[in-house]
Chain A
């Protein structure tokens, strides 16, 4: 196209160059359009308007509030109010429906699980894990083993009043520290631990005296864990015959548990969460998979 210029062509008169040239290509010096400058000034004026309308300038003791008194906090509050209003009809329906009927209504089940998921993440996940998988000493809520019962009513009771909590109606009872408090001797505790492992079919140390362990168990443990070791939900005494271990199935952990005792605390959430949230949490935990009828 450069040959183009060889033909007596007038250059476009309105275009100036910087005088820089590379291989016949000139760098233009095109000025910005003036309206661009006006837009720039308009943004400055807009900024001034912004200062007047919204809170912006820090003052000695406070800040400029803006003509409408807009506040981030009140904006959140009104957003929350709008959200509550939007949820209103479903919340009312959830409130009115008995716990046992929620899971049979797909729409209500979805709503309760959605509400429950958020409340669980906020309140329960730190101990029980994001998906209710639990941790050592914090029960797994997705299996079918329940310390205090797994029906909807049981779960609601535990959430509302807690276990070993400050609530009078909460579950009580804990594993005593047989060793530390001098109730059993070390040898007896080791024998009992070996026996406990045998209850769920786990291997025992060769030569362990299971008969002695059984006797110690019957005298000291059966009161709460039952003569067959199947546990007692009224006392929160775990079933020792199944495959689920709150603290772990190895001999050392069991000995440690009998020596020092256990007494994990579940707070009473009734004081902190409203009824609908507790209802939704109950359904959410119940539908993890282990819920009992």
Chain B
């Protein structure tokens, strides 16, 4: 792991007051900690000074929980998975010469369709805008409320959540599952495990199946898949995604977040003290005491915190984190510990939100008897929001004013000019005309910048008023070789700006591209 994350974690591991002690006290502290925290001796791990190099995975049995954040998570799961599984079947009528699937990535034809938007490979810069939007949205979420992405929206979280629900359904909730896992294998246990893996594989298979539907006409592909007529690539990709979903959501789970994902590392560097995070309010919770012990402490006039150390927050955590240890790399901030703690607080008649979206700043302020304050609007969040709005507006503008015609010109590089037998000079160009309209269009090619220019299109005889006319099929582009010849006297090392303009023959605005006419 990177040093940054190690230090982030180490803050949580810091023992009470390491600073300002004499070396002797420190040694004693160190020794005590070593004894207390020493991992159990393991036969295949040499117990040297550096500790074990590899750690066995601790299996996590997240407990079922109900509450606000659980409801939010269910809603997000339903919406996101619903979109993912059903979107390929949504139809969108674009007229003739175009597919009627709302969202389609058409690799053979090199087109991307998204409802009213059609993107050509030449317009891949829209993707840049989309990526900036995605990054800024992620940063904004992080600046406002920490790892919202990790806790609620990340596919790893959503699918793991679904897989955990299936696990609880088949193998029982935490206690039942734990108990069963400690018993020897029985037919019942085998049947439950078998059913779980079957259901997992079905969900994984459906996930892979939905993926390929984005790359072809969905109803047709479903029919082809069912009758084993689909292309091999479809089956291969379904198999791959079935495997990754099953492995990542079923087996890897929190290991992905803790060891594989780069975002927690970046997130830790991007956050600040005002970002709301799922926080254990130790100002209220400490010192921890059971109900009985708290009553006893109160009798003796000693303080007791609200935390009764029931560990419910740990039991419901999908990544096995103890939130009371403070900000933690392993915490995806899904808020389920809030729900768990709230339920306990309600039962014992103490105020809710001992664990809540809060900041360390507020905890310290409360400890000092000050009012907490919240700063959602601050330079960082405003900046992110402004960038999002700006990029969004630019993209909207670009998309709504997108032209259906475009022209690209490439000057011949070798030779850059040709001297003809009568002394005239000729330049050759490769002109590509893009017709993004869904019907065939003819374009009149006009060239300006050269007084006496003779324009010839190779393989094109058609002319309108002396200018060549080039026909381009629907939703297609066409490349033609264009020769420009002039008898005009050119100066030495001449390089004259030349403008290529295409005018739709059926009427409509023209489009231009600039290049040069070079002479000896």
Chain A residues at the B interface, C-beta cutoff of 8 Å: 1-19, 21, 24-37, 103-104, 106, 109-110, 113, 129-134, 140, 142-145, 239, 242-244, 287-290
- CB contacts (< 8 Å) of A34 on chain B: these are 54-57
Complex contact A244–B419 (CB within 8 A): yes
Q: Say which residue of A31, A35, A104 sits within 8 Å of B52 (CB atoms).
A: A31
- CB contacts (< 8 Å) of B426 on chain A: these are 142-143, 289
Of B150-158, B332-340, B475-483, the one contacting chain A is B475-483
Q: Say which residue of A12, A21, A32, A104 sits within 8 Å of B325 (CB atoms).
A: A12
Binary interface profile of B, 55-86, with partner A (CB < 8 Å = 1, else 0)? 11110000000000000000000000000000
Of B184-192, B409-417, B496-504, the one contacting chain A is B409-417
Give Cα A243 to B418, complex, Å. Answer: 11
Q: Say which residue of B10, B33, B414, B421 sits within 8 Å of A28 (CB atoms).
A: B10
Give Cα A5 to B57, complex, Å. Answer: 27
Complex contact A29–B51 (CB within 8 A): yes
Binary interface profile of B, 6-37, with partner A (CB < 8 Å = 1, else 0)? 11011111111111000000000010010011
Complex contact A9–B459 (CB within 8 A): no
Say whether B265 faces chain A, with CB atoms less than 8 Å apart: no
Say whether B374 faces chain A, with CB atoms less than 8 Å apart: no
Q: Say which residue of B3, B10, B36, B459 sits within 8 Å of A104 (CB atoms).
A: B459
Say whether B100 faces chain A, with CB atoms less than 8 Å apart: no
Give Cα A213 to B370, complex, Å. Answer: 112
Q: Say which residue of A12, A33, A129 sits within 8 Å of B12 (CB atoms).
A: A12
Complex contact B415–A7 (CB within 8 A): no
Query: Smallest distance from the beta carbon of A131 to chain B beta carbons, Å?
Result: 3
Complex contact B55–A288 (CB within 8 A): no
Give Cα A289 to B325, complex, Å. Answer: 78
Complex contact A5–B17 (CB within 8 A): yes
Binary interface profile of B, 289-330, with partner A (CB < 8 Å = 1, else 0)? 000000000000000000000000000000000101111000
Complex contact B50–A11 (CB within 8 A): no
- CB contacts (< 8 Å) of B12 on chain A: these are 11-12, 15
Give Cα A110 to B472, complex, Å. Answer: 14
Complex contact A33–B412 (CB within 8 A): no
Complex contact A106–B478 (CB within 8 A): yes
Complex contact B17–A33 (CB within 8 A): no
Give Cα A31 to B282, complex, Å. Answer: 29
A-B contact pairs, 25 of them (CB 8 A): A1-B360, A5-B11, A5-B16, A7-B282, A11-B14, A11-B33, A11-B325, A13-B36, A13-B37, A25-B11, A27-B7, A28-B10, A28-B13, A29-B51, A30-B9, A33-B54, A33-B259, A113-B481, A130-B413, A142-B415, A142-B426, A142-B428, A143-B421, A145-B420, A289-B483
Give Cα A67 to B19, complex, Å. Answer: 65
B18, B420, B428 pick with most chain A CB within 10 angstroms: B420
Complex contact B18–A144 (CB within 8 A): no
Complex contact B9–A143 (CB within 8 A): no
Complex contact A133–B14 (CB within 8 A): no
Say whether B451 faces chain A, with CB atoms less than 8 Å apart: no
Query: Smallest distance from the beta carbon of A167 to chain B beta carbons, Å?
Result: 28
Nearest-CB residue, chain A, relative to B36: A13
- CB contacts (< 8 Å) of A10 on chain B: these are 325
Give Cα A134 to B58, complex, Å. Answer: 74
Give Cα A32 to B52, complex, Å. Answer: 9
Complex contact B53–A31 (CB within 8 A): yes
Contact status of A242 and B421, CB under 8 A, knowing A1-B360, A15-B13: yes
Nearest-CB residue, chain A, relative to B30: A19
Complex contact A8–B419 (CB within 8 A): no
Query: Smallest distance from the beta carbon of A139 to chain B beta carbons, Å?
Result: 12
B286, B456, B481 pick with most chain A CB within 10 angstroms: B481
Complex contact B415–A12 (CB within 8 A): no
Say whether B255 faces chain A, with CB atoms less than 8 Å apart: yes
Complex contact B282–A9 (CB within 8 A): yes
Complex contact B282–A143 (CB within 8 A): no
Complex contact A289–B428 (CB within 8 A): yes
Say whether B422 faces chain A, with CB atoms less than 8 Å apart: yes
Give Cα A5 to B51, complex, Å. Answer: 24
- CB contacts (< 8 Å) of B15 on chain A: these are 5, 11
- CB contacts (< 8 Å) of A239 on chain B: these are 421
Complex contact B421–A31 (CB within 8 A): no
- CB contacts (< 8 Å) of B283 on chain A: these are 7
Complex contact A140–B415 (CB within 8 A): yes
Give Cα A110 to B428, complex, Å. Answer: 16
Q: Say which residue of A8, A16, A35, A143 sits within 8 Å of B418 (CB atoms).
A: A143
Say whether B46 faces chain A, with CB atoms less than 8 Å apart: no
Contact status of A25 and B7, CB under 8 A, knowing A3-B364, A244-B419: yes
Complex contact B13–A26 (CB within 8 A): yes
Give Cα A287 to B322, complex, Å. Answer: 75
Complex contact A33–B255 (CB within 8 A): yes
Complex contact A27–B6 (CB within 8 A): yes
Complex contact B415–A131 (CB within 8 A): yes
Nearest-CB residue, chain B, relative to A35: B57
Complex contact B13–A29 (CB within 8 A): no
- CB contacts (< 8 Å) of A106 on chain B: these are 459, 478
Contact status of A8 and B422, CB under 8 A, knowing A36-B54, A103-B458, A133-B415: no
- CB contacts (< 8 Å) of A144 on chain B: these are 420-421
Nearest-CB residue, chain A, relative to B55: A31
Say whether B423 faces chain A, with CB atoms less than 8 Å apart: yes
Say whether B449 faces chain A, with CB atoms less than 8 Å apart: no
Give Cα A25 to B53, complex, Å. Answer: 22
B37, B324, B459 pick with most chain A CB within 10 angstroms: B459
Complex contact A129–B421 (CB within 8 A): no
Query: Smallest distance from the beta carbon of B212 to chain A beta carbons, Å?
Result: 23
Complex contact A1–B421 (CB within 8 A): no
- CB contacts (< 8 Å) of B326 on chain A: these are 1, 4, 9
Nearest-CB residue, chain B, relative to A103: B459
- CB contacts (< 8 Å) of B37 on chain A: these are 11, 13-16
Query: Smallest distance from the beta carbon of B348 to chain A beta carbons, Å?
Result: 21
- CB contacts (< 8 Å) of A26 on chain B: these are 7, 10, 13-14
Nearest-CB residue, chain A, relative to B413: A131
Give Cα A59 to B412, complex, Å. Answer: 52
Complex contact A243–B419 (CB within 8 A): yes
Q: Say which residue of B1, B11, B286 sits within 8 Å of A8 (CB atoms).
A: B286
| List of 10 A-B pairs having minimum Cβ-Cβ separation, nearest first | A133-B415, A131-B414, A242-B421, A31-B55, A5-B14, A26-B10, A28-B6, A145-B421, A11-B13, A109-B459
Query: Smallest distance from the beta carbon of A117 to chain B beta carbons, Å?
Result: 11
Contact status of A32 and B55, CB under 8 A, knowing A143-B421, A287-B481: yes
